[in-house]
Amino acid sequence: MKKNRNLVKISIVASLLITTSSILGQNVEVMASNPTNYKDMTEYAAYENVIADAGAISGDFSISVALYDIDQDGIRELLISHGTCLADWVNDIYTLEDGKYVSYIGNVGRQGLFYTAPDGNGMYFLYGYQGYQEITRITKSGKDIVQTLLESRELNANENYTEFANKIALLAPGDIPTHGNSYDVEVTAPDGGVNMRCGAGVEYDKVLPDMIPNGTVLTVTQEAVASNGNSWGYTNYNGT
């Protein structure tokens, strides 16, 4: 991707790029794969104490984490997967209120795999054990997690467990990669600054009351393209 060092619009990229896929013969909007450079995402810093506490409580048993925007509201939720065995395994889910206050919103029991829902509505959770599988849709409603069972059945002989295209990777904190293609850009806008918004496009709400002034140097860690074709960048400004 060509990097434009003179971008005049900088914004938080609040949702993942979408791609067009075909499901059941129909073209639908499908969320692209979730990036795994969680430590580069602005929400990670707010979740760090929760992650550290979960690791300390687990002791010799490791935890794994993921950041994913379940309801596509511009704030990535935190998933912490932990347990000592299948019997007590749980996936705790947290979100940020007002972009900075960590709030526990529920959990998904048992050990399994998370995927981006093929239709973009929440996540799919796949649980499989000894030839039996369950597929559950996980969505977020306000401050609560909603679980909707989509399938529960025994697999046929020689049938594999279901897989979906875009897996949400749960990684040990020490194994999380960082983005290697970040770059700096100086704000130079004709009206004196740029607005930080909760999505890639001027139709998204502002997340700061004032503009980021000209002359500010920002580090862009990810890019997205708005509906009008303009490039926007995911960045951090004074902790936001």
Residues 38-66: pLDDT tens digits?
A: 988 889 999 999 999 999 998 878 899 99
CA distance 117 to 125: 9
Q: Is the pLDDT of residue 107 over 70?
A: yes
Residues 6+ away with beta carbon under 8 Å from 226: 200, 201, 202, 232
Residue 110's pLDDT band (boundaries 50, 70, 90)?
Answer: very high
pLDDT of residue 59: 83
- The arithmetic mean of pLDDT across residues 108-129, rounded, is 94
pLDDT band (50, 70, 90) for residue 181: low
Which position has the higher pLDDT, 2 or 112?
112
Q: How far apart are CA 218 and CA 57, in angstroms?
A: 36
Does pLDDT of 1 surpass 50?
Answer: no
**In the beta sheet, which residues pair with residue 206?**
197
Whether residue 31 has pLDDT greater than 70: no
pLDDT of residue 9 exceeding 80, the answer is no
pLDDT confidence tier of residue 219, bands split at 50, 70 and 90: confident
Enumerate the β-bridge partners of residue 193: 213
137-140 LR contacts (CB < 8 Å, sep 24+): 138/70, 138/108, 138/114, 139/70, 139/71, 140/70, 140/71, 140/77, 140/95, 140/105
Q: Can you read off the two tokens belonging to residue 159? A: 């049938």
What was the pLDDT predicted at 21? 29
pTM for the model stands at: 0.65
Burial class (CB in 10 A: 0-12, 13-18, 19+), 21: middle
Q: Between β-strands 193-194 and 77-82, what pairing exists: parallel, antiparallel or unpaired? A: unpaired
Name the residue type at position 149: L
Q: What is the pLDDT of residues 187-198, one digit of tens each?
A: 998 899 999 988
Query: CB neighbours of 142 closer than 8 A, spacing ≥ 6?
Result: none
Of 86, 170, 158, 85, the C-alpha closest to 128 is 86
184 vs 173, residue with greater confidence: 173
Which residues, including other chains, have CB under 8 Å from residue 231's CB and lie 6 or more apart? 4, 7, 9, 223, 224, 225
Q: How far apart are CA 53 and CA 174, in angstroms?
A: 15
| Percent of the chain clearing pLDDT 70 (strictly above) | 85
Residues ≥6 apart with Cβ < 8 Å to 138 = 70, 108, 114, 122, 123, 124, 125, 145, 146, 147
